[in-house]
Amino acid sequence: MTNRMKLIWLTLITLSLPLLFITASSTAQEGVTVGDLVQEEGWQLVRDNCTECHSSLIIVQNSGNREVWKSRIEWMQSSQGLGELGPELEGSILDYLTSNYGQKTASRRHALPTHLMPTTPNL
């Protein structure tokens, strides 16, 4: 190989290296659904322990007090193959879930007052 050829190869390789890294890191991001968890204290514990089998969406769509969340975890442990978390980890996860996805007082909005309702043409 002539020196000129070597130089061209070297330049090509050097220029394409950053591309390799960009491609590798964007592939690594694919399929990770953590964007919807509220990023308050302890969210990484939930990301790391609770999104292996299902999306975090199933978590953020749910709500409940500590007993409700504890019963969900116990249900997954007894029937879905979730392993023991240990008291400390489970406690931190429950803290996170109850403070960010706690019991809702009402899950339905009130009905609109009649004068704000849309009219129905054929009635």
Contact 77, 83 (CB under 8 A): yes
Please, which residue, 23 or 33, has the CB nearer to ligand HEC?
33
Q: Write down the least CB distance from residue 62 to ligand HEC, Å.
A: 4
Q: Please state the length of the chain.
A: 123
68 binds ligand HEC (CB under 6 A): no
71 binds ligand HEC (CB under 6 A): no
The DSSP H or E segment spanning 50 is: helix 43-50
Contact 102, 64 (CB under 8 A): yes
Residues in contact with ligand HEC by CB under 6 A are 49-50, 52-54, 58-59, 62, 72-73, 76, 80-82, 93, 97
